[in-house]
Amino acid sequence: MKDQYQLVIIGAGPAGLAAATVAADHGVEVALLDEQPAPGGQVFRAIEAAPVERAEKLGPEYRRGEKLVTTFRNSSARYFPDTQVWSLSAQREIGVIHQQQARMISAEQVLIANGAFERPVPFPGWTLPGVMNAGAGQILFKGSGIVPSDGVVLAGSGPLLLLLAWQYLRAGVKVKAVLDTISRVNYIKALPKLPSALLVHHHITQGLRYQQTLKLAGVELHNGIRDLQAHGKESLESISYRHKGSRHRLRTDSLMIHFGITPNIHLSQAAGCEHFWHKRQQCWRPELDKWGGSSIEGILIAGDGGGIGGARTAEHAGRISAFKVLHNLGILNQRECKLEAAQDRKWMKADLRIRPFLEKLFRIPDSMLRVPHDNAIVCRCEEVTAGEIRSAIAAGHTDSNQVKFYTRCGMGPCQGRQCSQAVAHIVADKTSVPLQQSTQFRVRPPLKPLTLEQLASLYPDETE
């Protein structure tokens, strides 16, 4: 790894791969930093290694990633797998751990393409062993072919839930139930957006058709469930929920949960980029121009990290940002830049047509995001409950950072990734200050734990 590159891209999902390929093809010196051992990101994870048979079970969309990875591999972009980024400054200095060694590199242009993560929605019992994010379940399946035991229950909202249930069925796992928080209201609100959504032939619209397959296989399917809780002493033994006015209980030792995904904004926050609360997607997003440019010069963001658009949109956004980088580096003039990006813009616009429908349909009930049960743990690292957060607010600690100071909520190794949204919802609810005006946890680097020895090895010439 060199100390400096023209372009550093963080994340090797569809956005990062597409951008790296475009930039490298124009002669730019590109380094693509990736936490994973192989390119593909979450959506095309282990795509080079997955046997054809498993890839088929995962569906045709997964195959699309093969082309992206192959063209990237054939480009001159340098790929650094197993590489963690622990800091990013507005001056585009990037703290990296590569092969256990900490180092600082710098870049003329930085493209953040580190995607999204599953929205953490705390509820009583969600930290019990046996409760797992559906995304993590899919990672185990894609990466190692691991599936849960028979009798697994899937609960939450979002397209991944049905897709994963369908993928499990195809892999021969007996799925006990799929419990969806989508209510009839969501369907009614989403309906007007359906016609334009149907214009997109997308694996997500396919998801709705998965329902039929699941029903035929004898899976219990319930919509509009509320108040999900997980029970068990040492690990998960059963779950309960409300449906149509009464409480139901199911015995299971495996619960997969999913409440949609939310942009991974830690790096853009660390760099100091501006963010705003996006009401429809129920998340914070960086302020971006139409090229993916952030509020800080030389830092661009493409893919789900800039707002949820899905894999295809990420790929187009990655290329669009790459053209802008080429312009910023003086390789393309403004006219060429516009022209090159035109095709991707068109496709991206078409692909995004499905979003308003999905956002309405899979919207998480606000009542769940506020974590109504006082005994639910919100901060897993420091074991802080919703009740303790509400008491802190009542005692006069009226914004997220004061709650953090007072309760230590968000001070653990995950850096508040798991609890920041829940805390913000609770604060907004208790103080009646809308989320749009609320403060977020201030990011405190290193974004990934760094050992004392790794830090000590940096800048050896610096003396007191």
Partner 1 sequence: MKSDVIIIGGGLMGSSTALQLAMRGIDCTVVEKQSPGRHASGVNAGGLRQLNRNPAEIPLTVEAAKMWRNIESLVDSDCDARFPGQLRVAENSNDLDLLEQRASMVHSLGYAHEEMIGREELYRLVPALAPHCLGALTCREDGYARPFHALTAFRNKARSLGVEYRINTIVDAVERESGLWRVTTRKGEFQAPVLVNCAGAWAGHIAASLGEPAPLKPGAPMIMVTERLPHFIDPVIGAASRKLSFKQMQNGTLLIGGAHMASLDFRKETSDIKWPKLAMSARSVMALFPQLKDVRIVRTWAGIEAFTPDNLPVICKSSTAEDAYHAFGFSAHGFQLSPLIGRIIAELIVDGKSGFPIEPFNITRFRPLQEGYQ
The binding site for partner 1 (CB under 8 A) comprises: 87, 89-90, 95, 104, 272, 395-399, 401-402, 405-406, 408, 411-413, 415, 442, 444-446, 449-453, 455-459, 462-464
What is the Cα–Cα distance from 204 to 405, expressed in whole angstroms? Answer: 41
Q: Which is nearer to partner 1, 169 or 447 (CB)?
A: 447
What is the Cα–Cα distance from 285 to 302, expressed in whole angstroms? Answer: 12
Q: Is the Cβ–Cβ distance between 129 and 29 less than 8 Å?
A: no
CB of 416 to partner 1, least distance (A): 10
* Largest interatomic CA distance in the chain: 72
What is the Cα–Cα distance from 230 to 91, expressed in whole angstroms? Answer: 46
Q: Which is nearer to partner 1, 27 or 449 (CB)?
A: 449
Q: Which is nearer to partner 1, 229 or 440 (CB)?
A: 440
CB of 84 to partner 1, least distance (A): 12
What is the Cα–Cα distance from 430 to 372, expressed in whole angstroms? Answer: 11
Q: Which contacts qualify for 238-245: CB closer than 8 Å, 24 or more apart?
A: 239/125, 239/153, 239/155, 241/155, 241/179, 243/179
Q: Which is nearer to partner 1, 147 or 414 (CB)?
A: 414
Q: Which is nearer to partner 1, 436 or 457 (CB)?
A: 457
Q: What ranges make up the beta strands (E) of 70-185?
A: 78-80, 83-88, 93-98, 101-112, 116-118, 131-133, 152-157, 175-180
What is the Cα–Cα distance from 117 to 119, expressed in whole angstroms? Answer: 6
* DSSP state letters, 279-327: TTTTEEEE---TT-B-SSTTEEE-SGGGS---HHHHHHHHHHHHHHHHH
Q: Which is nearer to partner 1, 46 or 97 (CB)?
A: 97
CB of 422 to partner 1, least distance (A): 19
CB of 279 to partner 1, least distance (A): 24
CB of 383 to partner 1, least distance (A): 11
CB of 107 to partner 1, least distance (A): 16
CB of 91 to partner 1, least distance (A): 8
CB of 33 to partner 1, least distance (A): 17
What is the Cα–Cα distance from 30 to 207, expressed in whole angstroms? Answer: 37
Q: Which is nearer to partner 1, 266 or 355 (CB)?
A: 266
CB of 380 to partner 1, least distance (A): 14
Q: 165-178 burial, b if ≥16 CB within 10 A, otherwise e?
A: bbbbbeeebebbbb
CB of 403 to partner 1, least distance (A): 11
Q: Which is nearer to partner 1, 53 or 461 (CB)?
A: 461
CB of 398 to partner 1, least distance (A): 7
Q: Which is nearer to partner 1, 183 or 402 (CB)?
A: 402
Phi, psi of 349 (to 5 degrees): -60, -45
Q: Read off the DSSP letter of residue 398.
A: -
Q: Which is nearer to partner 1, 89 or 238 (CB)?
A: 89
Q: Is the Cβ–Cβ distance between 361 and 191 less than 8 Å?
A: no
Q: Is the Cβ–Cβ distance between 431 and 398 less than 8 Å?
A: yes
Q: Which is nearer to partner 1, 282 or 415 (CB)?
A: 415
CB of 463 to partner 1, least distance (A): 7
Write out the two tokens for 371: 């974590």
Q: Which is nearer to partner 1, 199 or 458 (CB)?
A: 458
| CA of residue 75 relative to chain centroid, distance | 27
Q: Read off the DSSP letter of residue 359.
A: H
What is the Cα–Cα distance from 384 to 386, expressed in whole angstroms? Answer: 7
What is the Cα–Cα distance from 444 to 86, expressed in whole angstroms? Answer: 10
